[in-house]
Amino acid sequence: MREALVEFRNVSFRYGEDQPWVLKQVSFTIYKNEWIAIIGHNGSGKSTIAKLMNGLLFPQEGTILINNVPVNEETIWDIRKEVGMVFQNPDNQFVGTTVQDDVAFGMENRGIPREEMVKRIDETLTAVGMESYRLTEPHRLSGGQKQRVAIASVLAISPELLILDEATAMLDPKGRMEIMQTVSNVRERLQLTLLTITHDLQEVVQAERVIVMNEGEKWKEASPREIFAEKKELQRIGLDVPFIATLAEELKQQGMPITNEPLNHEELLEDLWTLHSKM
């Protein structure tokens, strides 16, 4: 039986009493050590979900549990040790004058002893591949490097859940690749549950499960393969479909019986090969 880390039970949220509901009766569970992606059009409520998870916002209705503890004013300080977030803009997240100061900042706030801090700075900067930049000033780093340091700073608190809220959106393709490689490496080294909020289809395909949000409601929750099988519907709610899924759909329209919902080049080529051998 999988252990639940985050539970949303009928959560509704709005920014003010005269404002429309941003989230409407949303329920889902995130399990320990899984990689889950949340996608949805701008304004669908994705980022609000992230902010509710570590008590930056509180819902008007419903309950949010982290490790079976309800998120509220009394519990947020403990919960923020469990839930770390990296945001979109790499320039808005630096507080230290050097990379290692920045990683130390969150630990200092939590009163972690010096010897432990030194050890964790080593570990986390190595995990994100930034160990040789310890004394570098943040403004000398590229966007991708800044986000890697931001991830290290969060990992130093050793949270159970790492949320990347469009953390690659402002990066160039090289920066995006750096981050996704970093995240895969980190997940191999540490026990970590990962939530990525993103428009990037490559990030979505890598996740084990996807929650699709539409106009404040949970539209669907399934594996990437099941989600991308519903191309027409996804496009209707303003989302994109990977190139391979689109091509597979067109091939089906041509009468080629492709059944496996391929998500990458190898899978589609394999399907074509098998089909062709039978022809």
Partner 1 sequence: MDITFKNVSYIYQQNTPFAHRAIDNISFHIPSGTFVAIIGHTGSGKSTLLQHLNGLVRPSEGEVKIGDFLLSHEHKPKNLMELRSRVGVVFQYPEHQLFEETVAKDIAFGPENFGVEQAEIEQRIKEIVPAVGLSEALLARSPFELSGGQMRRAAIAGVLAVKPEILVLDEPTAGLDPRGQKEIMDMFYDLHQQQKLTTVLVTHSMEDAVKYADHVIILNKGTKYMEGKPEEVFIQQEALNQVQLDMPEMIQFMQAFQARFGTEIPFMRQTVEDLAVQIQEALKGVDVHE
- According to DSSP, the β-strands at 161-165 and 83-86 are parallel
Paired tokens of 258 = 């492709």
Stretch in the footprint of partner 1 (CB under 8 A) among 74-82, 103-111, 115-123, 266-274: 266-274
* Residue 134 buriedness (CB in 10 A; 0-12 / 13-18 / 19+): middle
Identity of the residue, 211 or 239, whose beta carbon is nearer to partner 1 in the bound complex: 239
Q: Is 251 in the site for partner 1 (CB under 8 A)?
A: yes
Of the candidate residues 20, 173, 189, 208, the single one contacting partner 1 (CB under 8 A): 173
In SS3 terms, 99-116 reads as HHHHHHHHHHHCCCCHHH
Q: Footprint of partner 1 on residues 48-107 (CB under 8 A)?
A: 88
Stretch in the footprint of partner 1 (CB under 8 A) among 9-17, 50-58, 123-131, 235-243: 235-243
* Residue 223 buriedness (CB in 10 A; 0-12 / 13-18 / 19+): middle
Instruction: List Cβ neighbours of 27 (8 Å cut-off, separation of 6 or more).
Output: 8, 9, 10, 11, 62, 218
Count the residues of the shown chain that bind partner 1, applying the rule CB under 8 A.
35
**Least spacing, CB of residue 189 vs partner 1, in Å:** 25
Which positions touch partner 1 (CB under 8 A)? 40-43, 88, 142-143, 169-170, 172-175, 199, 238-240, 243-244, 246-247, 250-251, 253-254, 256, 265-266, 268-269, 272-273, 276-277, 279
